[in-house]
Amino acid sequence: MAADWAPTFDAVDRAAFLPDLMWPFDTRTHTATAVHRAEDPDAWYAAADRDAPIVTQWDDGAHTGTEPGRVSTSSSSMPSVVYALLQDLAVEDGMTVLDIGTGTGETAAALAHRCGSGNGGGVTTVEVDPAVSRQAGARLRAAGWDATVVVGDGAQGCADQAPYDRVLATVGVREIPGAWLQQTRPGGLIVAPWGTHFTHADAVARLTVHRGTATGRFTRPVEFMKARAQRLALPGHGAYAPTDGADASTTDVTEAEFVTGQYGALPFVLGLRVPRCVQVVAGKEDGARPVWFYGLGDRSWACVVFRDGADTARVWQAGERRLWDEVEGAYRWWTGQGAPGHGRFGLTVTPEGHRVWLDDPAAIVA
């Protein structure tokens, strides 16, 4: 953590913003286990102090009981990730900030501490879920932090409190809403996790707003829950083109080259270069790992199966697109560019749409 944010970290108690029942999330095993403050206070406070995400809501609030639900829909993010975003935001005393995705309210509290609302600054935090917003507002008031808490669609921002010096999103987005640009002062910053539907992983876009456009580089890989309006609903496997008659081939791309982990630059780049496609990496079984690709907007699919010790991998493709051919072409492009990391890519947002570039805004990638 940067030294200038240490006083805020000390002043804002994460535990003050957590519910009695919560589900600490293990990022290694991708599992969550319930812990209740009244039943096991030692485990509860240990989880609150850990640098790990904590699920605080499942299934948009429809979930009941202590077992994990189907989809995590609100959380307390990993503190190290949150404070890295805050560092990117470059907040100064007296600034006005729009916080998208209130969640527990802890990020709004950190911003309120940093902005110093008594010196002309102020924090407006927007949450789409009324119950989540209500609970966060109560915790902010109880802890003595001054923030304007709004229930609404974060994509619309909050025009009543605009313009803002800074806009921060702690939800993953697939497009930067025009309202955020319109509500940001000239020279102001937007910091948001941005990505494609190819995987759940995103990269932090740090954008400077000027004359109705926003442009800047990506700073680091992250993974956040997606904005509800931008979630993906992928059909089941049976909805895709039949396996009978699928084209079969091989590739010399290896598993070690291709399966780089969720925070590697390669999945991010593949999502840029292969639009309207989702990747699903299966677990390894008996020395074989299938990786699936599904088209969005059509019923094309592809599957590559990597096997331990094999010089080549088997490939099957069906439907209107040859998705593996597209993916392999994107992989070859990436390696041909020197396998650039996230920081060499940037994003420009205009009223006409989004452009991703490599090294220079004129070098359009997608």
Ramachandran bin of 61, using left for φ above 0, alpha for ψ from -120 to 50, beta for the remaining angles: left
Active site residue 77: yes
Dihedral (Cα; 266, 267, 268, 271), 10-degree rounding? 120
Catalytic residue among 72, 77, 117, 133: 77
Task: Please tell me whether the peptide bond between 163 and the residue prior to it is cis, using omega within 30 degrees of 0.
Answer: yes
Give residue for tokens 């900030």: 97
Tokens standing for residue 307? 């096997």
Tokens standing for residue 260? 């780089």
Angstrom CA distances, 364 to 215, 329, 359, 361, stand at: 13, 17, 9, 7
307-338 burial, b for 16+ CB within 10 Å, e for fewer? eeeeeebbbbbbbebbbbbbbbebbeebeeee
Contact assessment for residue 166 and residue 191, using Cβ atoms and an 8 Å cutoff: yes
Please tell me the distance from the alpha carbon of residue 333 to that of residue 331, in angstroms, as a whole number.
Answer: 5
Angstrom CA distances, 186 to 19, 89, 161, 175, stand at: 38, 15, 16, 20
Active site amino acids: 77
